[in-house]
Amino acid sequence: MTKRLKSKFRICKKLNRNYNNIWGLPKGDSLRSVQKIEKRKKKKASLYGKLLGVKQSFRFFYCNLQEKSFKRILKKSVNSPLTTLDRFVSFLESRLDVVLFRSCFVSSMYNARQLINHGIVQVNGKVVRNPGTTLNQLDIIEIDENLLKHETKIDKIRNDVKKNFSSRFLPPYLEIDYKTLSIVFLWDPNYKSAYYPIKANYNIIQRFYR
């Protein structure tokens, strides 16, 4: 069971923006916390405030990732010979829970974590229970065959796929088979191949930790 008992959209309120639907989910458009408010007074943000806003909108997208882990991965990507942001996104988008979300199998990353914790997801034929598992090139992600015997559960996953497919950007680095509910992780993604509903200059994130 998830530890986040309150509405998952509560973190949308933490950003000082008019529109805070961090994951771009259709359900979020109808909530008061993410609707555009014309009469809201805009405060002039300091440089620190701007850096914090960009960093938070990026980290909140990966809601299963704690601040310490986020900072650790960023520092690791700074030492990479590739562009920092590209390498940073590569590390984040290679997580198992993120891949399930990107593939439309689940409606949110919270649901992805729940499926993984319950032992429903397999990587290369082995059950994995860690949402932060890093995937390698040509890894195969599948829904456990035991789940196929429970029609109500498998129907829920297929219904989520139908709902999410029309409103989600499918990344080119994933090969998805919706009939067998399997995914092939083709290659490490970069920033351009990942979609974020909130647009910002994410290149400045590393400046926040200096």
**Which of 102, 112, 111, 181 is closest to 147 using CA atoms?**
181
β partners of residue 182: 142, 177
* 77 and 15 in a common domain: yes
Q: CA–CA distance from 129 to each of 39, 123, 142 (Å)?
A: 46, 10, 13
* 116 and 38 in a common domain: no
Q: What is the pLDDT along the chain (210 residues), one digit of tens a residue?
A: 455 544 666 777 777 655 567 777 766 666 655 555 545 555 676 788 888 888 888 998 998 889 999 999 998 888 877 788 999 999 999 999 999 999 989 888 888 998 899 888 999 999 999 999 999 999 999 987 676 556 557 777 888 788 887 777 889 999 999 888 899 999 999 999 998 888 888 988 888 887
What is the span of the domain harbouring residue 69? 8-83+197-209
CATH number at residue 114: 3.10.290.10
The number of folded domains in the chain is 2
* 179 and 109 in a common domain: yes
Q: Are 117 and 130 in contact (CB under 8 A)?
A: no
User: pTM to 2 decimals?
Assistant: 0.83
Count, in order, helices (H) and strands (E) of the chain: 6, 5
- Is 1 inside any structural domain? no
DSSP result, 146-209? GGGG-HHHHHHHHHHHHHHHTTSPPPTTEEEETTTTEEEE-S---GGGS--SS---GGGGGGGG
* 157 and 129 in a common domain: yes
